[in-house]
Structure 1
């Protein structure tokens, strides 16, 4: 046996002392008794005096009473800072937390059966028992500070947890080691934070996010697209193979409550006329594509307008990464899969071909990029109503992408598409907002030029932030199919607009209540419209 060096001997002695001290504490024991946390009795868990050099402009809780966000402004640099404030631990509490984390991990592995207990209850009980075993006397404030960090680690996302819990954040971006996290805030747009990850921390987080999503990430396969357990979409990169500044990720958060058409009207993305138009078009099986740049709201809009699909219709969704959530009883969801062991890849093309055998009335495809677009348009040409999204910034760009590599849809098939919605993330004054630039209709092939002919039904006028309405061939086609007069068509649009205005005026944007009202309308439109007219005169007056 070789002799131990001084450093190795010192480490061994420290380990022996730690073991002896831990054994003595376990034999001694104590009783930890803490009730519910009460700020008035136990004091604040957080001490924060501001960020030097910045002026605080806003403060709000993201996990009361444990964590809040302080939005600060630097007038000299003309920039904002997103500052996460969490409980501070002293040296003793830090050492105790490390020990608790190790012991709790082992304890929770053995305690897998929780019965009716929540994860929070189990963790509190385990924490209390361990503190009693250690013989450590702690006050309520210390207990809850320790609990917060343990719960954040075991059930949350660690240092990322406050950002994930902030409803004002849409995107979270990490560009590498020791670099500040950036977020997209619904008020302050792109803003830097005080959250930073070291190399080991960031590598560990990327691996953990992949594992939580049921994916594998490694040096051999360093890039992964995943869906987190809460539905958020994540793009992960491990190490420095493809991202030289180190591991990186972008998380596009999933809203706890999905946007409804009323929300989109309130945000100004669409107006009531456009929503009534889309409602009638969807009810009458018109196919749509939502196009736009990154973060323009394509998927959000498609998800929202899907609430207009008649309640008993069979709907099938196809996605690479799970983003769509339809509040529809007769809904079959399908997601692509990479090859497992000796199996084969299951692509969007495979799923789309399979979908047609399920005889769906509506097919919703997350995004078309390649050969699956051909099958999508074949489905349109055989009478299936389809919705999808694309990256494109104009009607002509959509057509060019569809007709050329790698999509290659024949021009004759594209004319089966009814409506194109072009959306953008733009500025109204100094505010960055989402707007529908154009709602266009595909009219077929121009016999003189051979090009696809399209007309603009709605267009956005930036100077006034309003939408301009023009004639619609889609509405004329619906009118002819139903044998309506022009007056009857206008009445149908007016009734839907009236219902939407009623929902908006009464603040009914919850998806459950919204879909319930839409379903009631489909069941008995005359009664619903009559009830709406009786309950509000202001809506009618505004529409007149």
Structure 2
């Protein structure tokens, strides 16, 4: 009752005034997050925590809007306060509430009859009002003043003979101590003190704005007298008066209120012995630097996602590198830094886009153009074509930028204009910051877990999952899914909470799930495809396969074997499959069936392969407008003899596939991927889960297992081929999986490589025998064939360490073509006993032989003369050496040993490759 009855009416008026003078703001709610957005665009203040008026208004809004998750100061840049920073602001704003309750307490206890009562009462009330006013906008200074007042015994000295006054003063001090103890634990703040000629602080003379981090003994804002004064009996009182007399503390504003100015002055006079002034008449200013300790996350207005630009303290730097824009016209460079956490087994992936450090004039220009682009509504643009839409928006941004620059009589370089145009297109029609993450060639996957605004984006960096410094906002997530729905033409909502599509322009497969499947909001998974097809030599250099296994896989593909590639998600199944397609001779037709396009069909077609792609509906959601995999497979079987490639074997279409394989309807060979961790696991799934009869399963020739290996149990993940097993010709009707498979090659973790099994070393492989029989050669000749292929792949891989362009599909395909041409030449000679293309004793060679020789010569001449300016295959004059070698080496002794033939084949191929490598573009 005493508190209510004694409550100062002026404090109530101050609360009403605070509510009227608050900055304009709005609340933004999402499912898991409340954000306060303060509009600072029209404010004349600095929009800074170091500005007293801004602080007062921010604290007032926080006292009114409790339990927010983020505070945004929206000006030229968006400044986001969240987490510990926002918690500190709430704590500072709450200090006033902890102080204001003591304003209604009795300042003078007991029935005092002394004539000084009114003066003591006024002095103490003035102190409390001043303290409350300081707490409203500068709680750190108010708490420091309270602490110093208690330590310095700052009340007017009582008569020495008055025990009553001494007891009353002591009770008031105890009240202040209780207030100090019950006040919230304020965060530690750096203090800046201007230079004084006659100073009492331990700050070097002549320095201005020096940081005095140790002014406070603890994070509660306590004074540390020994660190800040030479004269401990004078400095607290002098500093306290200066704190209360600064223009920002409101004391001067209080002068003239009903004659109270005299009391205020007397408060200062009673606290200072020397007037609290410097020789030049200035007052001491203790300035708390809120901005340096409570730091926001700064972002441009066109991106509502948050990027933390400073690494946490619990990390250690590992490496950094730059990545350039995928557009050659844009010289935009992204800085990437990798850190390691010191308290958990995880890495931090930090990306720093340059637009987060734009100059103010650049940001104003881009924001003005962006708003024009948002208002623009093109009527003739097909947004389902991402590449076309991107080009359109980039051109529009360039046009608007030039108009704004001309109107403002400003200029930029052509490079800057392209960079600005691409930036605007990225944040209006592109993927924003996600596009930057996907542009890193070392990143293979990007995961966004719900709720996305509370969970950092995760990236898979060369097989290792890392947390990033990127937090996507709900607005960005909603914009992305709307764009994906438009591009795919597929429904997405509560009735259909899954969306899958391919973004060909980015080489990415996207999966999105939403409510009710994802109760906390939208979640995304971006899986990158290789922009350039994988090759076996490239996989050798990454350690995924050994050189011998590459030669063996090349032999299987050339031998039209039916192969299943199995492994867990992200183990490299599709990468290996695309590399193996390059080992199928170009003369054979290939049909592919995929629900999500991951195989490089267009690239293979551009290199000369006869590939026909077919699409089936998604494995997750079925749409009436899409063809089922079973129907697509039956259609493929009717398109003639060809190698059949199944993107993923997963459903009832498997029965149709194995039925076709068993009767030979599938054509040359069947290759597909399937989920499984071992050959036995693949058998169990196909036979027992998908219902394929065991006898039909034997139509499979081999099973290849891809695995992710964690060497030594570390967090690093390596993609490796861990097993290659053949299907034996067992006569058992219902064999056990262990009786059906024989390991051809197995992975040795100690040596991190694939090694041949006993069946291969002893030449007892049934699969090799099957292909040898089909080719009409012996087992020894087949093994020598594998050996030569191994040496060829190893040669390309070794040269590719110095020249990475030789590992790409263009160079590997040409090397394979020359090998097949040389093989055909050798087979024709072995068959006829005559040197191809040369006259026999009767005068003429066979038409077939002549045709082969003509083909070899034509290939050489074409590769030399027609492509010498762009993709040179031979150096000038090499074709003559090549023909001379034929004449010299095959003129006599046609019945040579096959090993010598293969050695001669490799020798000629090696000579060709060395010349090819020297003349290849970029050499």
Which residue of 1 is the match for residue 683 of structure 2? 399
Which of 153, 166, 170 is equivalent to 2:444? 170
Which of 750, 768, 771 is equivalent to 1:475? 768
Q: Distance in 1 between matches of 2:733 and 2:517?
A: 50
Which residue of 1 is the match for residue 317 of structure 2? 56
Q: Does 1:335 align with 2:577?
A: no
CA contact (8 A) 2:498 2:512 kept: yes
Q: Distance in 2 between matches of 1:91 and 1:295?
A: 43
Which residue of 1 is the match for residue 352 of structure 2? 85
Q: Deviations over 1:109-161 (max 9, x none)?
A: 3686999x966972563143331465374666986774453032245311212
CA contact (8 A) 2:534 2:809 kept: yes
Q: Distance in 2 between matches of 1:420 and 1:493?
A: 18
Q: Does 1:485 align with 2:778?
A: yes
SS class of match (1:83): strand
Quickly say closer, same or farther: Cα 1:306–1:388, change in 2 above 3 A: same
**CA positional deviation for 1:279:** 1.3
SS class of match (1:109): coil
Structure 2 stretches of 5 or more lacking a match? Answer: 1-19, 26-41, 43-299, 301-307, 325-330, 760-764, 801-805, 827-881, 883-904, 915-923
Which of 511, 517, 531 is equivalent to 1:235? 511
More RCO (CA 8 Å, sep 6+):
1
Q: Deviations over 1:355-410 (max 9, x none)?
A: 011014200001111111111112211323111111111111111101123x1101
SS class of match (1:262): helix
Which of 470, 473, 476 is equivalent to 1:201? 476
Quickly say closer, same or farther: Cα 1:85–1:497, change in 2 above 3 A: same
Which residue of 2 is the match for residue 185 of structure 1? 461
Q: Does 1:70 align with 2:337?
A: yes
CA contact (8 A) 1:479 1:485 kept: yes
Q: Does 1:438 align with 2:713?
A: no
Which of 358, 361, 370 is equivalent to 2:642? 361
**CA positional deviation for 1:51:** 2.7
CA contact (8 A) 1:412 1:445 kept: no
Which residue of 1 is the match for residue 817 of structure 2? 519
Q: Distance in 2 between matches of 1:319 and 1:181?
A: 29
SS class of match (2:445): strand
Which residue of 2 is the match for residue 30 of structure 1? none
**CA positional deviation for 1:80:** 2.2
Q: Deviations over 1:224-254 (max 9, x none)?
A: 121112331111123x311122101101111
Which residue of 1 is the match for residue 553 of structure 2? 278
CA contact (8 A) 2:702 2:727 kept: yes
Alignment of 1:381-392 (within 5 A): 381-383=662-664, 384=667, 385-392=669-676
Q: Distance in 2 between matches of 1:436 and 1:427?
A: 13
**CA positional deviation for 1:92:** 6.3
Which residue of 2 is the match for residue 379 of structure 1? 660
CA contact (8 A) 2:815 2:913 kept: no
User: What TM-score, normalized to structure 1?
Assistant: 0.82
Q: Which moved more, 1:243-252 or 1:77-86?
A: 77-86
CA contact (8 A) 1:258 1:511 kept: yes
**CA positional deviation for 1:301:** 0.6
CA contact (8 A) 2:694 2:734 kept: no
**CA positional deviation for 1:511:** 0.5
Which residue of 2 is the match for residue 347 of structure 1? 628
Q: Which moved more, 1:240-249 or 1:149-158?
A: 149-158
Quickly say closer, same or farther: Cα 1:183–1:121, change in 2 above 3 A: closer
Structure 1 stretches of 5 or more lacking a match? Answer: 1-5, 12-17, 19-45, 538-544
Quickly say closer, same or farther: Cα 1:139–1:467, change in 2 above 3 A: closer
Q: Deviations over 1:11-36 (max 9, x none)?
A: 9xxxxxx9xxxxxxxxxxxxxxxxxx
Q: Deviations over 1:496-518 (max 9, x none)?
A: 12221221122121101111211
SS class of match (2:469): strand
Which residue of 2 is the match for residue 31 of structure 1? none
RMSD of aligned Cα (Å): 3.4
Alignment of 1:131-150 (within 5 A): 131-132=404-405, 135=408, 137=410, 146-150=420-424
CA contact (8 A) 1:260 1:307 kept: yes
Q: Distance in 1 between matches of 2:441 and 2:541?
A: 17
**CA positional deviation for 1:62:** 2.6
CA contact (8 A) 1:258 1:304 kept: yes
SS class of match (1:286): coil
SS class of match (1:404): helix
Q: Distance in 1 between matches of 2:436 and 2:671?
A: 35
Q: Which moved more, 1:426-435 or 1:408-417?
A: 426-435
CA contact (8 A) 1:175 1:245 kept: no
CA contact (8 A) 2:446 2:527 kept: yes
Q: Distance in 2 between matches of 1:411 and 1:341?
A: 29
SS class of match (1:532): helix
Which residue of 2 is the match for residue 99 of structure 1? 368
Which residue of 2 is the match for residue 302 of structure 1? 577
Q: Distance in 2 between matches of 1:72 and 1:302?
A: 34
Larger radius of gyration: 2
Q: Distance in 2 between matches of 1:139 and 1:414?
A: 67
SS class of match (2:685): helix
Quickly say closer, same or farther: Cα 1:535–1:164, change in 2 above 3 A: same
Q: Which moved more, 1:500-509 or 1:81-90?
A: 81-90
Q: Distance in 2 between matches of 1:489 and 1:342?
A: 48
Q: Does 1:222 align with 2:497?
A: yes
Q: Deviations over 1:439-481 (max 9, x none)?
A: 0011134438644522111011112223231322111222233
Q: Distance in 1 between matches of 2:337 and 2:509?
A: 26
SS class of match (1:258): coil
CA contact (8 A) 1:50 1:56 kept: no
SS class of match (1:363): strand
Which residue of 1 is the match for residue 600 of structure 2? 325
SS class of match (1:521): helix
SS class of match (1:378): helix
**CA positional deviation for 1:533:** 4.0
Q: Distance in 2 between matches of 1:78 and 1:482?
A: 53
Which of 781, 785, 790 is equivalent to 1:497? 790
Q: Which moved more, 1:51-60 or 1:492-501?
A: 51-60
**CA positional deviation for 1:214:** 4.3
**CA positional deviation for 1:297:** 0.7
> Of Structure 1 and Structure 2, which has the larger fraction of its residues in helix?
2
Quickly say closer, same or farther: Cα 1:138–1:369, change in 2 above 3 A: same
Q: Distance in 2 between matches of 1:105 and 1:255?
A: 33
Q: Deviations over 1:181-211 (max 9, x none)?
A: 0000017x11111111222221221222343
Q: Does 1:158 align with 2:456?
A: no
Q: Deviations over 1:37-58 (max 9, x none)?
A: xxxxxxxxx9x98535244322
Q: Distance in 1 between matches of 2:786 and 2:753?
A: 19
Q: Which moved more, 1:96-105 or 1:458-467?
A: 96-105
Which residue of 2 is the match for residue 248 of structure 1? 523
Which residue of 2 is the match for residue 530 of structure 1? 907
Q: Distance in 2 between matches of 1:193 and 1:206?
A: 21
CA contact (8 A) 1:338 1:344 kept: no
